Amino acid sequence: MRSEEMQPAQQAQRTENPMAVRPMGSLLLRMSVPMMLSMLVQALYNVVDSVFVAQLSENALTAVSLAFPAQNLMIAVGVGTGVGVNALLSKSLGEGNHERASGTAMNAVFLAACSYAVFALLGALCSRAFFQSQTDIAEIVDMGEDYLRVCMVGSFGLFAQVTYEKLLTSTGRTFYSMITQAAGAITNIVLDPILIFGLLGAPAMGVTGAAVATVAGQCVGALLGVIFNARKNVELKMRWRAFRPNPFLIGRIYAVGVPSIIMSSIGSVMTFGMNRILIAFSSTAAAVFGVYFKLQSFVFMPVFGLNNGMVPIVAFNFGARRPDRIDQAIRLSARYAVIIMCIGMAIFEIWPQTLLALFNASENMYGIGVPALRIICVHFALAGFSVVASAVFQALGHGLLSLIVSAARQLVVLLPVAFILARIGGLHAVWWAFPVAEIVSVILCACFLRRVYRVEIHSLSASPAPDAQTPAAQP
């Protein structure tokens, strides 16, 4: 073949999306490892936040722990919307519809701005009432109100950072997403001790300083996200002069995003309920639960990073009608997730005292926390499969299935079982609710995943894949 005839084929191969052609093992690692590293950095700064606050007092640690449901609700809305954006944008690119992909990106930014306005108002008006609904300890209420108000009124950085990270992830640029998260986390870590304890001439702000450091880190990550999308995300053309909110695209985003938002929000309800159950025993029990949530993020965050790499691969190849690659991505992700979770379980079982020592634990906290960590971590190995299965449902547009699993696990099983165990077995029995709930989650995920495979994934092989170079018609 002459070189003139080879040139177009070679150029097409160079420009073909790697999610369609790269070997799955290396593709999944290439997409996931940067996200896993960035998630680990995120987990680190979440833990460092509480480590520094714990040096102030146990009540300060409890205040930050009780704020978690409200913070998690903000994250749920931002990330849940991002999941819908991720699925629709990656699917549009897989179908070759770049116009719809760009429209999805602009509507995602619009939705982030709307979300911020709602939470800023709630933070300004409802922060104190939120803490008063959980405890009557005045010091905890005062510190918690100050912390949460700053985090919510300053949440514009959070929503912008999450949105622009999802745009980078959706087009396969997870390396730049990793940089935005890492930069935000490092900013938070550096500012935490300075603002909490008043170092380098700064005022000693206590828990409020921790909140300011968090907001500053999110703003740095958001700024980098804007810059990277403008310079590196060539598939997305955001033309703001002609922008109008598109009800159709917003509906498609939230068709997947709302179940994800509700699913993550269920975690806020569960945490709020568990705090109410535990604080009836003592504020230390609630602090232990908060410490557990900080520590478990080191185990779960890498798996979430793995999912963030897997979702665009599954969505892209679903749009391209490649069931073989979808199957490879799911199997590899589940395998890696279970390995990560088993490592985490071993660490919790072997070194619970060392983990609690990071938070200036008292003898009372050791007495409650050591058995708690060892019991709760039993469910980690099972959770690896459940987390990956839920991400598959979201990638294929079945966010409702993920919602059902999450609601069954956290509301239908975990909270009622914890309440009953608290009554009949006392504080140490409460922690067994987590393994019980995870067993139910695994059973549901296995049934739903089998149905999705049979009805949708395997049926893709019955029809030919579309030409990735030919733009699909706008729906």
Query: Is pLDDT larger for residue 404 or for residue 8?
Result: 404
Quick one: pLDDT band at residue 16, thresholds 50, 70, 90? low
User: CA-CA distance, 25 to 337, in Å (whole number)?
Assistant: 14
Task: Judge contact between 317 and 325, C-beta under 8 A.
Answer: yes
pLDDT value at residue 123: 92
Quick one: pLDDT band at residue 231, thresholds 50, 70, 90? confident
Task: Judge contact between 394 and 256, C-beta under 8 A.
Answer: yes
Query: Is pLDDT larger for residue 465 or for residue 48?
Result: 48
pLDDT value at residue 224: 93
pLDDT value at residue 475: 33
Query: Is residue 3 pLDDT above 60, yes or no?
Result: no
Which range has the worst mean pLDDT, 28-32, 141-145, 334-338?
Answer: 28-32
Residues 338-367 have a mean pLDDT of 91
In the chain, the amino acid numbered 422 is: A
Which range has the worst mean pLDDT, 17-26, 87-96, 354-363, 408-417?
Answer: 17-26
Highest mean pLDDT among 11-15, 264-268, 412-416: 412-416
Highest mean pLDDT among 37-51, 155-169, 426-440: 426-440
pLDDT value at residue 104: 80
pLDDT value at residue 303: 87
Task: Name 394's Cβ contacts closer than 8 Å, sequence gap at least 6.
Answer: 83, 87, 256, 259, 260, 311, 402
Highest mean pLDDT among 93-107, 133-147, 317-331, 432-446: 432-446
Query: Is pLDDT larger for residue 188 or for residue 308?
Result: 188
170-208 residue pLDDT tens: 777 767 877 888 888 889 889 999 999 999 888 899 999
Which range has the worst mean pLDDT, 128-132, 181-185, 393-397, 400-404?
Answer: 393-397
Query: Is pLDDT larger for residue 307 or for residue 114?
Result: 114
Query: Is pLDDT larger for residue 151 or for residue 15?
Result: 151
Quick one: pLDDT band at residue 474, thresholds 50, 70, 90? very low
Quick one: pLDDT band at residue 267, thresholds 50, 70, 90? confident
Query: Is residue 7 pLDDT above 60, yes or no?
Result: no
Query: Is pLDDT larger for residue 98 or for residue 2?
Result: 98
358-375 residue pLDDT tens: 888 888 999 999 999 999
Residues 242-250 have a mean pLDDT of 83
Distances from the Cα of 443 to the Cα of 340, 341, 437, angstroms: 20, 18, 10
Highest mean pLDDT among 181-185, 312-316, 346-350: 346-350
User: CA-CA distance, 208 to 215, in Å (whole number)?
Assistant: 11
Query: Is residue 473 pLDDT above 80, yes or no?
Result: no
Residues 238-253 have a mean pLDDT of 81
pLDDT value at residue 415: 94
Query: What is the crossing angle of helices 247-279 and 380-395, to 10°?
Result: 160
Task: Name 184's Cβ contacts closer than 8 Å, sequence gap at least 6.
Answer: 45, 157, 161, 217, 218, 219, 220, 221, 222, 224
Length of the chain: 475
Query: Is residue 119 pLDDT above 90, yes or no?
Result: yes
Query: Is residue 470 pLDDT above 80, yes or no?
Result: no
* pTM greater than 0.75 (yes/no): no
pLDDT value at residue 319: 73
Query: 449-456 long-range contacts, Cβ below 8 Å, gap at least 24?
Result: 449/389, 449/392, 449/393, 452/392, 452/393, 452/396, 452/398, 452/401, 453/327, 456/318, 456/396
Quick one: pLDDT band at residue 251, thresholds 50, 70, 90? confident
The helix (run of H) or strand (run of E) holding residue 177 is helix 174-197
420-444 residue pLDDT tens: 999 999 998 999 999 999 999 999 9
User: CA-CA distance, 195 to 206, in Å (whole number)?
Assistant: 7
Quick one: pLDDT band at residue 21, thresholds 50, 70, 90? low
Write the DSSP string, 208-277.
HHHHHHHHHHHHHHHHHHHHHHHHH-TT----GGG----HHHHHHHHHHHHHHHHHHHHHHHHHHHHHHH
Query: What is the crossing angle of helices 156-170 and 207-232, to 10°?
Result: 30
Nearest to 373 by CA among 357, 397, 349: 349
pLDDT value at residue 240: 72
Task: Name 223's Cβ contacts closer than 8 Å, sequence gap at least 6.
Answer: none
Query: Is pLDDT larger for residue 233 or for residue 4?
Result: 233
pLDDT value at residue 14: 39
pLDDT value at residue 20: 65
Residues 372-397 have a mean pLDDT of 88
Query: Is residue 446 pLDDT above 70, yes or no?
Result: yes
User: CA-CA distance, 362 to 368, in Å (whole number)?
Assistant: 10
Nearest to 257 by CA among 120, 68, 115, 415: 115
